[in-house]
Amino acid sequence: MTATESIKIEKPPKGASIPAKKGIKKAILGIFKKALETESLDALIIPVKVPETESYAWVLLKDTALLENADPLPPVMTIQGGKVLSDLTKHGKINKNIAAVLRPCETRAAVELFKLKQLHFENISLISIDCPGAIPLSEYLAEPEKSEKSFGNVLDKWDGDDSVREICKTCYRFSLPTLTNAPASDLHIGLSGNTKDDVVLIPVTSKGEKILEKLDLKPESSLQKWETKIKEIKKIKSQRRKEFNHDFKTNISGPEKFTAVFDGCINCHNCQSVCPICYCQQCYFDSATTKLSSEDYFRRAKERGALRFPLDTMLFHLGRMSHMALSCVSCGACEDGLPHVHFRISGLQPRRRADPASIQLYPGNK
Amino acid sequence: MSDVLKIKKPVEEGITEFLKYLLEKNKVNGKFSQLLPKYWEAAKNSEVLPSLRPTCTACEHFVPALADIIVSVAGNKNLTEECSLHLNTSKGEELAQGAPGNKTTEKLNDRELSKLKELRQKEREKLFASVKDKNLGLAGMVKTFAPCLSCHGCRQVCPICFCTLCDFDSKTQEDKPSHYESELQQKGGARIPSGTLYFHTGRMIHMAVSCVNCGMCSDVCPVDIPVATLFSMVGESLQKLFDYLPGKDLEEPAPCETFIENEFAGLGE
Amino acid sequence: MEKAYTPQIIGFLCNWCSYTGADLAGVSRLQIPSSIRVIRLMCSGRIDPLFVTKAIFKGSDGVMMMGCHPGDCHYQKGNYYTRRRYKTIKTVLEVLHLDAERIVLSWVSASEGVKYARVTKEFSNKITGLGPNPLKKEIFL
C-alpha cells in the first residue's frame, strides 16, 4: 500500500480536455463545482479571496457559493499549501473525501510532511496545477490590481517571468513533478502548451482516474502538445537555474559575503514558522537551550571585542539549513514571510542539497 | 535637577565618544560604528516625522524616566554644539565618573518636551481614528487580519511575549480533523489554519496591558497588518483601567499579578 | 419547521462555591435554563482568559464566569485575579468592537442556589435577545 492508497499510472498517455472559452480559472472552478454538486468530492481545499479584500486564504469548503471567490492558481502563495494539509490532518485522517488544489511545490511539501509523519493522506486527493510562479507577496499586497494583471501576462505567455519571485524564475519543477518517475499528485491540471481555449486534466494515479470517472470525463486527448511545451520551458528554466546557481555561488562565497546575506536578520524566525518543512512544535532555536547566562554573554563579548544581539543569527540559519534543506522544495515561502528586510534565503536552501539527479531522489517524490 | 556631563561635540560624535569610553572602561575593545545617521538627523529636529513608525509618531513617552543616563535629544536646541548626558541615577553618575567633559547642573527642557508631547498626542488621536474607521468590529477585524500568514512573527519579536513556548504554538491549540469536519457541517467551509483572530485577540488579552508601543510587531509583519496600532489602542484602555504605565516603575507589579481588594465594587453581585 | 433559537452558553464554575450553588439549585428543583453548559474548575482563578476567548471565537453564544464572592475564595485570593482578568477580556473586546456583552461575571456562593437560577436565567434571556453569536457563521476568522 502506498501513502495515498492509490496506484500510480505508469505514464499517463492521455488527458481529459476541458473547454475554457471563458478563461481557464472559470473552467477549472466549473469542474470543482460539478464535483461538489455531484458529491464526487465531499469538500475541496483551495485558496479563496477573503470577501471585500485582496487577500487569499486557504479554505476547506463544501459550500459551492464559496467557489465564487476561489482561485485554483492565485497570483501569490500566501501560506504554503503543504502546511495547510498538515494543519488539517496532523492528528489523524479526515473522514471526508477531500481534494486539495496545490501548486507543484506545495504537493511536494505535502509529500515531505507525510514522510515526516505530519500529515495523513487517507481520503485526500492531491490536484496539482502547472505553475508559472508566484508574485512576491509584498508586491502583490502593495499593488494587487497591477500584480493580478502581470500574473495574467505570465500565465498567458509562460515566458514573461519578470514579475514572479526569483525562486520561481528558476523553478524547473513547475509542472507535474515528473512524467517518468513517481508522481506527487493524483490529478494534474495542465495549462501550458495548450491554447487559452482549453485545460487538460491528467490522471496520474488510480485516485485521479476515479475522480475523472465520477465526473464523467474521459481522458481521450493527446498530451503531446503539452509535453513538448513543458519540456521546452523546463529547458529554459533549468538553464536559468544553472546560471543562477553559478552567480549565487560567486556572490556568497567566503565568510564575509556569506554573513552579509544575513546582515539584516532580526531573529524573527518568520522564515522558520512559514516553512512547510519546519514542523517542530518547538524549534530548538526557540528553546531554553539557546539562552545563555549573562557570564556567557560577557565572555563571548570579551573574546570577540563585541557581541551582536540578537545572538547567533547565522547559527540559526545554518542550523535550519542542515536540519531541513534536504527536504526544501524551493517554494519561496521563507522569503515571502520575511519582514521587509529583504535578504535572499530561498536561493540558499537548494544549494545545500545533494544533486537530486545523482541520487535519484528529490523532495516531494513519493 | 541633575548633574550634566557636557562633551563639547555634536551629539552623535559626543555619544559615540562616550560609548567608546564605556567600552574601554569595561575592557570590551570593540569597534563601535556609528549607526543610522538618518535616524539621528530625524531625532535632531525633535518634531513628529511622518516617516517614523506609526506608533513612534504617536509616542508620548519619549523621555526614558528610568534610564541611568539620559541623552538629551528631544527639544535640545544645542544638539549640534554639544552632547548633554543627564546622569539620572547614582548608577549613571558612577558610570560617568572621570569621563571627558564638563559637569554642570540643569533640567531637561520641560517646555519643549511638553510641546512635543502635545504634538504626539494629536498624532495618536489621528492614528487611532484611522483604525477605528475600518479595522474594528467583526467585519473590520476579519478584513484587517485577512492577509495574516500565522507566522506569529509579531509574537516572536514582542519584548513582552516572553514565553518559551507560546500557548498558540502548543498542541492545545491544534485542531483535530473532526473539528474541521464539524466546521464543514456547520459553516460550509473553514479557513486553514484556523484561529487567526483568536490568536491576535488572545495575545492582546494576555499582553496588551504591558504593551510599550514599541512597534516591533508592525515592523516585522510581512503583510503589513497594523498590529502595533491595534495593540497600542487596546493597551491604552487596559492601562487606564488599571491606572498603569508599563515600564514606569520597577516596584509597581504588573496588573495581572496583583489586585486591590475593594476595586470594581458591585461587579458580579 | 425551523427550531426556536436556544443559545449555547458555557459556564465556567468554581468547585467550592458556584458549582455547589448550582448543585443546590438543582437539588432545590429550581428551574435552570437548558442553554447553560457547565465546566467545573477548582477555582475561578483557573479560568485562563483564553478559555473564554476561545469559547466565543468557536461560536458559543455566551460565557459565564462564576466564582466565590470576593473575600470568600477557597484559595484566599483566586477570584480577585479572576475579576481583573474578566475586566481585561471585556475591555479588549469592547475596544475591538466585538460583542463584549456575551461575557458575564457572577459571584455565586454555595448557599445561593436561588441566585444561580436567577443569574443564569437573566443571562440566558439576554443572550436570546442578542441572537446567535455572529462568529458562529464566520469562515474567515
Residue A10 pLDDT: 60
Query: In this predicted structure, what is the pLDDT of residue B222?
Result: 92
Q: What pLDDT, on the 0 to 100 scale, is given for residue A364?
A: 39
Nearest to A105 by CA among A87, A85, A129: A129
C-alpha cell at C110: 454555595
Query: Taking the mean position of all CA atoms in its chain, how far away is CA A93?
Result: 22
Which residue in B206, B255, B268 is closest to C105 by CB distance?
B268
pLDDT on residue A256: 84
Write out residues in chain B with pLDDT < 70, as ranges: 23-46, 49-51
Q: Grid coordinates representing B205?
A: 488579552
Distances in whole angstroms, Cα of residue A142 to Cα of each of A137, A268, A336, B147, B223: 9, 22, 13, 12, 9
pLDDT at residue A204, as a whole number: 87
In sequence order, the 6+-apart residues with CB closer than 8 A to the CB of A195 are none
Q: Could you say which residues of chain C have pLDDT below 70? A: 1-3
Reference A60, options B141, B147, B223, B185; nearest CA is B185
Q: Which of B11, B142, B138 is nearest to B73 (CA)?
A: B11
pLDDT in the model for residue B23 = 63
Q: How far apart are CA C35 and CA C56, in angstroms?
A: 15
Cα Rg of chain C (Å, integer): 15
Look at C140 and A66 and tell me if their CB atoms are within 8 Å: no
Q: Verify whether the Cβ–Cβ distance C80 to B190 is below 8 Å.
A: no
Is residue A344 predicted with pLDDT exceeding 70?
no
Q: How confident is the model at residue A357 (pLDDT cuts 50, 70, 90)?
A: very low
pLDDT digit string, tens, across residues A62-93:
999 999 999 999 999 999 999 999 999 999 99
- The predicted-structure confidence for A161-216, as pLDDT tens digits, reads as follows 678 988 888 888 888 755 445 557 889 998 876 556 788 899 888 888 899 999 99
Is residue A17 helix, strand or coil? strand
Q: Is C122 on the interface with B (CB under 8 A)?
A: no
User: What is the bridge-based pairing of β-strands C62-67 and C103-107?
Assistant: parallel
pLDDT at B168: 93
Give the number of C-alpha atoms closer than 13 A to the C-alpha of residue A207, restricted to the C-beta side: 25
Nearest Cα to Cα of residue A132 among A185, A169, A184: A169
Q: What's the number of CA atoms in the CB half-sphere (13 Å) around residue C119?
A: 25
Q: What is the ipTM of this complex?
A: 0.93
Give A46 or A291, the one with higher predicted confidence.
Answer: A46
Question: Which of the residue ranges A36-50, A227-241, B27-41 has the most confident prediction, judged by mean pLDDT?
Answer: A36-50
pLDDT in the model for residue A244: 84
Q: What's the pLDDT tens digit per position in B10-59?
A: 888 888 888 777 766 655 443 333 334 556 666 666 677 666 788 988 99
Cα–Cα distance between A108 and B252 in angstroms, integer? 53
Burial class (CB in 10 A: 0-12, 13-18, 19+), A128: buried
Cell numbers at A118, concatenated: 505530519
Q: What is the CATH number of domain C9-136?
A: 3.40.50
In which band, very low, low, confident or very high, does the pLDDT at A361 lie, cut at 50, 70 and 90?
very low
Residue A95 in this model has a pLDDT that exceeds 80: yes
List the one residue out of B262, B249, B265 whose CA is nearest residue B66: B249
Residue of C12, C92, C102, C105 best to disrupt the B interface, most CBs of B under 10 A: C92
**Chain A hits for B217, Cβ within 8 Å:** none
Nearest CB neighbour to C77, from listed B136, B167, B259: B259
pLDDT at site B116: 86
Confidence of residue A248 (pLDDT cuts 50, 70, 90): confident
Exposed / middle / buried, residue C46 (Cβ in 10 Å: 0-12, 13-18, 19+): middle
Cβ contacts of A65 on chain B, cutoff 8 Å: 188
User: CA of B165, closest CA in chain A: separation in Å?
Assistant: 7
